[in-house]
């Protein structure tokens, strides 16, 4: 009899319980990319604050117990942290545990009760920055010096207002994002808070007659000799542009605060968001359509914009104007 042919031996690898270190690091990098850069930075700071507190009081931070999380949140509340900050701290702890596959200590009835108690005691109303309306912006622009840094600041204030930009959007703008149009500029926002996947939106910036944002942006770029890369860059005290560096979110906020103070306003109530709020408020005061305002601001939830409109028109056609 002919012997049966031998079957080829197939070696099946042992199933892995744990990914190799390099693969695990790569997976975590993509998981972190699901969050905006600003959110990641904030979460890292929140996690560091929690870890430092745990070290100080002898708790384990990873995996943490619900009791430790609740005590940390109370500590933050007693230290005067805003409810929004405490909420973000909680989200950071939750996210850190989920990333490593540890049990979520924030999903505990005791932690939920603690958060509810903090909200009842401290309140949840957000602190809104003052709106740099068209009139306020004009007063700020009048205080800008005739220097290279001044040209940059003038362009930043005008464009930030005209496009109702978030500060992260302003900081991320490149020359390549600007497209000339006979009616002004078309500005491409490649990624924003409400567009984390980078589909991109386009904002139309008219030439204008009063603020003249398009002309001010051109003046800055020409004076600085910038033809590509970041639009808004640091300028040294000697008046030189610092290479291809990009202004940070914080730098933009400080610039707005600085000119608010120069205009005789309370700088503590102003920030980078003031430009965005100022555009929406001014547009609402001038009777602009809600949908058109949202086109420019990039808001997806009309309730946010309606809040600006309601505040801007609080005294217009007031119900008591005929008898008060």
The catalytic residue positions are 166, 193, 273, 276, 299, 308
C-alpha dist (Å) from residue 59 to 44, 72, 98, 178, 213: 19, 10, 19, 52, 54
SS3 323: coil
What whole-number distance in Å separates Cα of residue 186 and Cα of residue 164?
14
For the four alpha carbons of 174, 301, 287 and 279, in that order, the dihedral sign comes to negative
Among the residues of the chain, which ranges form H helices? 21-32, 37-57, 66-78, 83-99, 109-122, 134-141, 148-162, 167-172, 213-224, 249-262, 273-285, 290-297, 302-312
């Amino acid at each position: 009899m002919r012997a049966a042919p031998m079957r080829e031996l197939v070696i099946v690898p042992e199933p892995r319980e744990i990914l190799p270190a390099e693969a695990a690091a790569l997976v975590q990098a993509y998981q972190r990319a699901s969050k905006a850069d600003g959110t990641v930075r904030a979460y890292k700071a929140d996690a560091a604050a929690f870890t430092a507190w745990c070290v100080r009081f002898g708790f384990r931070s990873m995996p943490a117990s619900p009791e430790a999380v609740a005590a940390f949140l109370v500590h933050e509340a007693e230290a005067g942290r805003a409810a929004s900050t405490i909420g973000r701290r909680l989200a950071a702890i939750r996210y850190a545990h989920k990333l490593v596959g540890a049990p979520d200590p924030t999903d505990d009835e005791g932690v939920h009760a603690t958060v509810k108690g903090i909200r009842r005691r401290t309140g949840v109303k957000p602190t809104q920055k003052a709106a740099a309306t068209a009139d306020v912006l004009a007063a700020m622009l009048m205080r800008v010096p005739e220097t290279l840094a001044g040209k940059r600041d003038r362009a930043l204030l005008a464009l930030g207002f005209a496009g109702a930009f978030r500060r992260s959007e302003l900081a991320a703008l490149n020359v390549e994002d600007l497209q000339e149009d006979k009616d002004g500029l078309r500005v491409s926002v490649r990624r924003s808070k409400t567009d984390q996947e980078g589909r991109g939106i386009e904002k139309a910036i008219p030439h204008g007659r009063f603020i003249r944002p398009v002309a001010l942006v051109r003046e800055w770029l020409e004076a600085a000799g910038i033809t590509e890369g970041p639009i808004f860059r640091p300028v040294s005290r000697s008046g030189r542009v610092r290479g291809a560096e990009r202004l940070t979110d914080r730098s933009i906020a400080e610039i707005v605060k600085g000119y608010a103070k120069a205009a005789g306003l309370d700088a503590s109530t102003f920030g980078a968001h003031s430009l965005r709020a100022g555009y929406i408020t001014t547009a609402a005061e001038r009777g602009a359509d809600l949908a058109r305002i949202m086109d420019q601001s990039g808001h997806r939830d009309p309730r946010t914009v309606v809040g600006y409109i309601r505040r801007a028109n609080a005294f217009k056609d007031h119900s008591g104007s005929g008898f008060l």
